[in-house]
Protein backbone atom coordinates (compact mmCIF):
# COMPACT_ATOMS: atom_id res chain seq x y z
CA UNK A 1 0.00 0.00 0.00
CA UNK A 2 1.37 3.40 -0.86
CA UNK A 3 1.43 6.25 1.59
CA UNK A 4 0.18 9.46 0.08
CA UNK A 5 2.66 11.80 1.60
CA UNK A 6 2.54 14.55 -0.98
CA UNK A 7 -0.49 16.07 0.72
CA UNK A 8 0.84 16.35 4.22
CA UNK A 9 4.56 16.98 3.94
CA UNK A 10 6.04 20.40 3.44
CA UNK A 11 8.18 19.82 0.38
CA UNK A 12 11.04 22.06 1.42
CA UNK A 13 11.37 20.57 4.88
CA UNK A 14 10.54 16.89 4.60
CA UNK A 15 10.94 15.82 1.01
CA UNK A 16 14.37 14.96 -0.31
CA UNK A 17 15.68 17.81 -2.43
CA UNK A 18 17.78 15.46 -4.50
CA UNK A 19 16.78 11.85 -5.25
CA UNK A 20 19.21 9.48 -6.98
CA UNK A 21 18.00 6.18 -8.41
CA UNK A 22 19.73 2.96 -9.48
CA UNK A 23 17.09 1.61 -11.86
CA UNK A 24 17.74 -2.11 -11.50
CA UNK A 25 15.67 -5.12 -12.52
CA UNK A 26 14.79 -4.47 -16.16
CA UNK A 27 16.32 -7.73 -17.35
CA UNK A 28 14.61 -9.84 -14.68
CA UNK A 29 11.27 -8.15 -15.33
CA UNK A 30 11.51 -9.26 -18.96
CA UNK A 31 12.84 -12.75 -18.18
CA UNK A 32 9.95 -13.38 -15.76
CA UNK A 33 7.65 -12.82 -18.76
CA UNK A 34 9.80 -14.86 -21.19
CA UNK A 35 10.59 -11.67 -23.07
CA UNK A 36 14.00 -10.54 -24.30
CA UNK A 37 15.87 -8.45 -21.70
CA UNK A 38 15.64 -5.45 -23.97
CA UNK A 39 11.86 -5.38 -23.52
CA UNK A 40 12.57 -4.73 -19.85
CA UNK A 41 14.62 -1.68 -20.80
CA UNK A 42 11.75 -0.40 -22.97
CA UNK A 43 9.33 -0.78 -20.06
CA UNK A 44 11.96 0.81 -17.85
CA UNK A 45 11.86 3.90 -20.06
CA UNK A 46 8.12 4.19 -19.30
CA UNK A 47 8.86 4.06 -15.56
CA UNK A 48 11.42 6.85 -16.11
CA UNK A 49 8.68 9.00 -17.61
CA UNK A 50 6.31 8.34 -14.65
CA UNK A 51 8.90 9.11 -12.01
CA UNK A 52 10.26 12.21 -13.77
CA UNK A 53 6.73 13.57 -14.04
CA UNK A 54 6.01 12.88 -10.36
CA UNK A 55 9.25 14.52 -9.20
CA UNK A 56 8.63 17.48 -11.46
CA UNK A 57 5.06 17.96 -10.21
CA UNK A 58 5.95 17.59 -6.53
CA UNK A 59 8.78 20.07 -6.38
CA UNK A 60 11.78 17.74 -6.10
CA UNK A 61 14.76 19.89 -7.08
CA UNK A 62 17.05 17.22 -8.57
CA UNK A 63 16.54 13.67 -9.83
CA UNK A 64 19.63 11.73 -10.89
CA UNK A 65 19.10 8.47 -12.78
CA UNK A 66 21.81 5.85 -13.32
CA UNK A 67 21.08 4.99 -16.95
CA UNK A 68 24.36 3.35 -18.02
CA UNK A 69 27.43 2.69 -15.91
CA UNK A 70 31.01 2.66 -17.17
CA UNK A 71 30.86 -1.10 -16.51
CA UNK A 72 27.70 -1.68 -18.61
CA UNK A 73 29.83 -1.84 -21.78
CA UNK A 74 30.64 -5.38 -20.60
CA UNK A 75 27.09 -6.49 -21.45
CA UNK A 76 26.38 -8.40 -24.68
CA UNK A 77 26.91 -6.11 -27.65
CA UNK A 78 23.30 -6.43 -28.86
CA UNK A 79 22.00 -5.28 -25.46
CA UNK A 80 24.34 -2.27 -25.42
CA UNK A 81 23.21 -1.37 -28.96
CA UNK A 82 19.54 -1.57 -27.98
CA UNK A 83 20.20 0.61 -24.92
CA UNK A 84 22.01 3.23 -27.03
CA UNK A 85 19.13 3.29 -29.51
CA UNK A 86 16.66 3.58 -26.63
CA UNK A 87 18.54 6.56 -25.16
CA UNK A 88 18.46 8.30 -28.53
CA UNK A 89 14.79 7.62 -29.26
CA UNK A 90 13.75 8.54 -25.71
CA UNK A 91 15.71 11.77 -25.88
CA UNK A 92 14.21 12.63 -29.26
CA UNK A 93 10.71 11.70 -28.16
CA UNK A 94 10.72 13.34 -24.74
CA UNK A 95 12.72 16.53 -25.10
CA UNK A 96 9.78 18.70 -26.14
CA UNK A 97 7.65 17.43 -23.23
CA UNK A 98 10.51 17.90 -20.75
CA UNK A 99 11.18 21.42 -21.97
CA UNK A 100 7.48 22.30 -21.73
CA UNK A 101 7.47 20.98 -18.15
CA UNK A 102 10.34 23.39 -17.32
CA UNK A 103 12.75 20.46 -16.69
CA UNK A 104 16.47 21.17 -16.99
CA UNK A 105 18.30 18.19 -18.44
CA UNK A 106 21.91 17.37 -17.65
CA UNK A 107 24.16 14.43 -18.42
CA UNK A 108 27.11 13.27 -16.36
CA UNK A 109 29.69 10.71 -17.44
CA UNK A 110 32.20 10.25 -20.20
CA UNK A 111 30.03 10.99 -23.23
CA UNK A 112 33.00 10.75 -25.64
CA UNK A 113 32.33 7.01 -26.00
CA UNK A 114 28.84 7.58 -27.46
CA UNK A 115 28.01 7.90 -31.15
CA UNK A 116 28.28 11.40 -32.58
CA UNK A 117 24.55 11.61 -33.13
CA UNK A 118 23.83 10.71 -29.49
CA UNK A 119 26.44 13.22 -28.32
CA UNK A 120 24.81 15.89 -30.50
CA UNK A 121 21.35 15.18 -29.10
CA UNK A 122 22.69 15.26 -25.55
CA UNK A 123 24.36 18.64 -26.16
CA UNK A 124 21.23 20.04 -27.85
CA UNK A 125 18.96 18.80 -25.05
CA UNK A 126 21.19 20.38 -22.41
CA UNK A 127 21.36 23.64 -24.35
CA UNK A 128 17.64 23.78 -25.04
CA UNK A 129 16.68 23.27 -21.37
CA UNK A 130 19.58 25.12 -19.72
CA UNK A 131 17.49 28.08 -18.58
CA UNK A 132 14.61 25.99 -17.22
CA UNK A 133 13.94 26.45 -13.53
CA UNK A 134 11.94 23.35 -12.56
CA UNK A 135 13.27 19.86 -11.86
CA UNK A 136 16.91 19.28 -12.77
CA UNK A 137 16.99 15.83 -14.36
CA UNK A 138 20.49 14.37 -14.37
CA UNK A 139 21.14 11.32 -16.52
CA UNK A 140 24.27 9.42 -15.52
CA UNK A 141 25.42 7.76 -18.73
CA UNK A 142 28.79 6.04 -19.11
CA UNK A 143 29.24 7.28 -15.57
CA UNK A 144 31.19 5.73 -12.71
CA UNK A 145 31.89 7.18 -9.29
CA UNK A 146 35.56 6.24 -9.52
CA UNK A 147 35.79 7.84 -12.96
CA UNK A 148 34.28 11.01 -11.48
CA UNK A 149 36.84 11.19 -8.65
CA UNK A 150 39.67 10.38 -11.08
CA UNK A 151 38.63 13.11 -13.56
CA UNK A 152 38.51 15.59 -10.68
CA UNK A 153 42.00 14.51 -9.59
CA UNK A 154 43.34 14.81 -13.13
CA UNK A 155 41.97 18.33 -13.56
CA UNK A 156 43.33 19.42 -10.19
CA UNK A 157 46.74 17.96 -11.09
CA UNK A 158 46.67 20.03 -14.32
CA UNK A 159 45.96 23.17 -12.27
CA UNK A 160 48.84 22.40 -9.90
CA UNK A 161 51.17 21.75 -12.85
CA UNK A 162 50.16 25.08 -14.40
CA UNK A 163 50.88 26.85 -11.11
CA UNK A 164 47.29 27.98 -10.60
CA UNK A 165 46.90 25.77 -7.50
CA UNK A 166 49.31 24.67 -4.80
CA UNK A 167 49.28 21.09 -3.41
CA UNK A 168 48.23 22.60 -0.07
CA UNK A 169 45.07 23.98 -1.72
CA UNK A 170 43.74 20.45 -2.25
CA UNK A 171 41.05 20.12 0.41
CA UNK A 172 37.81 18.14 0.38
CA UNK A 173 35.96 21.34 -0.56
CA UNK A 174 38.25 21.87 -3.52
CA UNK A 175 37.98 18.26 -4.73
CA UNK A 176 34.20 18.58 -4.42
CA UNK A 177 34.22 21.56 -6.77
CA UNK A 178 35.86 19.44 -9.50
CA UNK A 179 33.44 16.49 -9.22
CA UNK A 180 30.23 16.21 -11.22
CA UNK A 181 27.14 17.88 -9.72
CA UNK A 182 29.19 20.21 -7.47
CA UNK A 183 26.72 23.03 -8.24
CA UNK A 184 23.75 20.96 -7.01
CA UNK A 185 22.69 19.77 -3.56
CA UNK A 186 24.12 16.35 -2.71
CA UNK A 187 21.69 13.41 -3.01
CA UNK A 188 19.49 13.16 0.10
CA UNK A 189 17.98 9.82 -0.86
CA UNK A 190 19.30 6.95 -2.96
CA UNK A 191 16.68 4.49 -4.15
CA UNK A 192 17.79 1.18 -5.64
CA UNK A 193 15.17 -1.08 -7.15
CA UNK A 194 15.60 -4.75 -8.05
CA UNK A 195 16.46 -6.22 -4.65
CA UNK A 196 20.25 -5.76 -4.63
CA UNK A 197 21.74 -3.72 -1.82
CA UNK A 198 24.85 -2.09 -3.22
CA UNK A 199 26.07 1.21 -4.65
CA UNK A 200 27.60 -0.21 -7.86
CA UNK A 201 30.05 2.65 -8.44
CA UNK A 202 27.31 5.31 -8.56
CA UNK A 203 27.86 8.74 -6.97
CA UNK A 204 30.63 7.62 -4.61
CA UNK A 205 31.87 11.09 -3.66
CA UNK A 206 28.45 12.71 -3.51
CA UNK A 207 26.73 10.03 -1.39
CA UNK A 208 28.76 10.45 1.80
CA UNK A 209 25.61 11.36 3.78
CA UNK A 210 22.86 10.05 1.51
CA UNK A 211 20.06 7.97 3.03
CA UNK A 212 19.90 4.56 1.34
CA UNK A 213 16.62 2.87 0.43
CA UNK A 214 16.40 -0.54 -1.22
CA UNK A 215 13.29 -2.16 -2.64
CA UNK A 216 12.62 -5.52 -4.29
CA UNK A 217 10.37 -3.83 -6.85
CA UNK A 218 11.77 -4.28 -10.38
CA UNK A 219 12.29 -0.95 -12.12
CA UNK A 220 9.66 -1.39 -14.90
CA UNK A 221 7.04 -1.88 -12.14
CA UNK A 222 8.16 1.15 -10.13
CA UNK A 223 5.41 3.73 -9.83
CA UNK A 224 4.51 6.93 -8.05
CA UNK A 225 3.17 5.05 -4.99
CA UNK A 226 6.57 3.35 -4.58
CA UNK A 227 8.27 6.73 -4.78
CA UNK A 228 5.91 8.11 -2.14
CA UNK A 229 6.71 5.17 0.14
CA UNK A 230 10.44 5.80 -0.24
CA UNK A 231 9.92 9.50 0.54
CA UNK A 232 7.85 8.61 3.62
CA UNK A 233 10.68 6.39 4.91
CA UNK A 234 13.14 9.20 4.19
CA UNK A 235 10.99 11.66 6.15
CA UNK A 236 11.00 9.29 9.15
CA UNK A 237 14.80 9.09 9.31
CA UNK A 238 16.92 11.33 11.51
CA UNK A 239 19.94 12.63 9.63
CA UNK A 240 22.78 13.47 11.98
CA UNK A 241 25.75 14.38 9.75
CA UNK A 242 28.17 13.30 12.47
CA UNK A 243 26.31 15.01 15.32
CA UNK A 244 24.52 13.29 18.22
CA UNK A 245 20.75 12.78 18.33
CA UNK A 246 20.61 15.22 21.30
CA UNK A 247 22.37 17.94 19.34
CA UNK A 248 19.96 17.50 16.44
CA UNK A 249 16.95 17.69 18.77
CA UNK A 250 18.35 20.85 20.45
CA UNK A 251 18.99 22.52 17.06
CA UNK A 252 15.46 21.68 15.95
CA UNK A 253 14.02 23.54 18.95
CA UNK A 254 16.46 26.46 18.83
Judged by the rule CB under 6 A, the positions of this chain that interact with ligand FPP are 23-28, 41, 44-45, 48, 65, 67, 72, 86-87, 90, 139, 194, 219
Q: Which is nearer to ligand FPP, 19 or 139 (CB)?
A: 139
Using the minimum distance from each CB to ligand FPP, give the nearer residue, 24 or 148.
24
Nearest residue to the partner ligand FPP, using Cβ: 27
CB of 19 to ligand FPP, least distance (A): 14
* Exposed e or buried b per residue across 44-66, where buried means at least 16 C-beta atoms within 10 angstroms of its C-beta: bbebbeebbbbbbebebbbbbbb
For residue 63, which phi and psi values (nearest 5 degrees)? -125, 120
Which one, 15 or 140, has the nearer CB to ligand FPP? 140
HSE of 241 in the Cβ direction (CA atoms, 13 Å)? 5
In this structure, what DSSP letter does residue 108 have?
E
Instruction: State the nearest-atom distance from the C-beta of 26 to ligand FPP, in Å.
Output: 4
* Residue 248 CB, nearest approach to ligand FPP (Å): 36
Decide if 63 contacts 227 (C-beta within 8 A): no
Task: Starting at the earlier edge strand, list the strands of the sheet with 136-143.
Answer: 104-108, 136-143, 62-69, 18-22, 189-192, 211-214
Residues marked active site are found at 24, 72
Amino acid sequence: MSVDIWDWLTPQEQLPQHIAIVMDGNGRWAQQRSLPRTMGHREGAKAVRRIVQACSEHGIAVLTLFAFSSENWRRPQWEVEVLMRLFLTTLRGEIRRLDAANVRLRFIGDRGAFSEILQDHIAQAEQRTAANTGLTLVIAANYGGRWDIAQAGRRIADEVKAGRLQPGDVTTDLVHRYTCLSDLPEPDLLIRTGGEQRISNFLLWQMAYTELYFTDCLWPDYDVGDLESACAVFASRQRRFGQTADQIARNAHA
